[in-house]
Structure 1
Amino acid sequence: MSLPVPLISLRGVTKVYGSGQNQLLALKGIDLDIQQGEFVAIMGPSGSGKSTVMNILGCLDTPSQGQYLFKGAHVESLTRDQRARLRRQYLGFVFQGFNLLARTSAQENVELPLLYRGDDISVRREAAAMALKSVGLAGWERHTPSELSGGQQQRVAIARAIVTAPAVVLADEPTGNLDTRRSHEIMGLLLALNRDHGITVLMVTHEPDMAAYAHRLVHFVDGGIAQDRVNPHPITSEQGVIPTATEN
């Protein structure tokens, strides 16, 4: 029985920064397949290549050599505008620093990807309200980031990432600025999105207790994949902390 065609495939992907004596080989011929619906933790020390590969997967950067296939399309051959359209249609992003507009309400922050896509205002409002509700923030739509806790801000960021109904959420150290309880709340939320909505989650983290939620662990060292294994005992949502909107 043949395996399903991967959602994402990297074949012989290298990334070189600089030239001459200043040349840095950040990725050294990466081969990686990711299936639709996987929850993958990408781990490794600083400078290992994990952030570089995440930028390539997110169409924020391009390989120096090699192939990147998304749903069978050769992403490395796309123009800048074509990559931007792919991001808008299929990818959602969650960052360590939340990246919310400070003077803008939660509702308006979540609407931004739909605004860039050109959706009508009524469509934007309804979709943003539903996304905020799905992350436990119904009733908080008018609050600005300064009126929200760190955990709530990250939930707004997750709502913004999923408002376009992406195939993939790329989370770069999503719990890096949160305390332990809020970190587990966010991980429980990402796990629920993966389990209940089939969203593929790719997460960069250096924290083993956060990576424990993933079903698969990919370790980078010195620009290559040192280990790629199934997590035999991933944390389930029932074991984690259920997100609430009433945190202080």
Structure 2
Amino acid sequence: MINTLPEFVIELRQTVKSYGEGEAETFALCGVDLQIAQGEFVAIMGPSGSGKSTAMNIIGCLDTPSSGQYLFQGVDIGTLSRDQRALLRRHYIGFIFQGFNLLGKTSAIENVELPLLYRGFPAHERHAKAMEALRSVGLEHVAHHTPGELSGGQQQRVAIARAIVTDPLVLLADEPTGNLDTAKSIEVMELLQSFNREKGITIIMVTHEHDMAAYAKRTIHFRDGKIDTLPETKALP
């Protein structure tokens, strides 16, 4: 599906997202232009209703623009069918959510194996890759514990292991520290930062916390469906 290596892994071109018709039409995105290069770590911030979550849904191929373009590795997502977009998500994008989204009665390693199951990996290979992913987040010792037996920080690290087990090109993190205390938040952010630096995974993170955004290489602010005209904030070195 993806055969070229363009300058940007993510590119929004005059992207518009609207809902409703006529006088009831509302705009979540109003002609957004955004470019993200391979290997960047970008934080997206903005008040409620600013369009940041809509932009993330489009970038994650969970939604499509009303007009304009979204290019993923040079491929115009608007030309893909629903099934093709699902395949793109499955093979190229990892997701981390604020609420962890783990299966409650399933062990940590089985939760991490789930994306590999969808991709048809044989059981022994799924197990080996899932264990390696848990090892990379420091949780191989709780591989057979259920989420209820883990702390919030451990659950989020299991969710990160699940997101990176398929070696995604892009990792989307939606408020990944929103349910964690400060110490656990720092652990998670240092982990994400290490995956960006050491594995070269492109990370796009929505957050409302400025101290968490500082871990990114670049911060983009959304307001009223547009990217704020204020200069983009760069993280501390």
Q: TM-score when scaled to structure 1?
A: 0.91
| Aligned-residue offset at 1:188 | 0.3
Task: Quote the residue 1:68 is aligned against.
Answer: 70
Identity of aligned residues (%): 65
Task: Quote the residue 1:98 is aligned against.
Answer: 100
Letter of the aligned partner of 1:120 in structure 2? P
Q: How does 1:19-98 map to 2 (within 5 A)?
A: 19-98=21-100
Task: Quote the residue 1:237 is aligned against.
Answer: none
Quick check: 1:231 aligned with 2:212? no
CA deviation map 1:164-197 (0-9, x unaligned): 0001100000000000100011000000000010
Letter of the aligned partner of 1:233 in structure 2? L
Q: Give the count of matched residue pairs.
A: 231
| Aligned-residue offset at 1:17 | 1.2
Letter of the aligned partner of 1:137 in structure 2? L
User: Does 162-171 or 112-121 show the bigger shift?
Assistant: 112-121
* Counterpart pick for 1:219 among 215, 218, 221: 221
| Aligned-residue offset at 1:22 | 2.7
Contact 1:216 1:228 in 2 (8 A): no
Task: Quote the residue 2:133 is aligned against.
Answer: 131
Letter of the aligned partner of 1:55 in structure 2? N
For structure 1, the 5+ residue unaligned runs are: 235-248
| Aligned-residue offset at 1:21 | 3.2
Which stretches of structure 1, 4 residues or more, deviate above 3 A after TM superposition?
none
SS at match of 2:14: strand
SS at match of 1:214: coil
Q: Give me the whole-angstrom Cα distance separating, in 2, the residues matched to 1:203 and 1:228.
A: 18
Q: Give me the whole-angstrom Cα distance separating, in 2, the residues matched to 1:207 and 1:106.
A: 28
SS at match of 1:7: strand
SS at match of 2:50: coil
Q: Give me the whole-angstrom Cα distance separating, in 2, the residues matched to 1:233 and 1:181.
A: 19
Q: TM-score when scaled to structure 2?
A: 0.95
SS at match of 1:33: strand
For structure 2, the 5+ residue unaligned runs are: 1-5
CA deviation map 1:136-182 (0-9, x unaligned): 10111100000000000000000000000001100000000000100
| Aligned-residue offset at 1:20 | 2.8
Letter of the aligned partner of 2:192 in structure 1? L
Q: Give me the whole-angstrom Cα distance separating, in 1, the residues matched to 2:21 and 2:206.
A: 27
Task: Quote the residue 1:240 is aligned against.
Answer: none
Task: Quote the residue 2:3 is aligned against.
Answer: none
Contact 2:213 2:235 in 1 (8 A): no
Contact 1:217 1:228 in 2 (8 A): no
SS at match of 1:139: helix
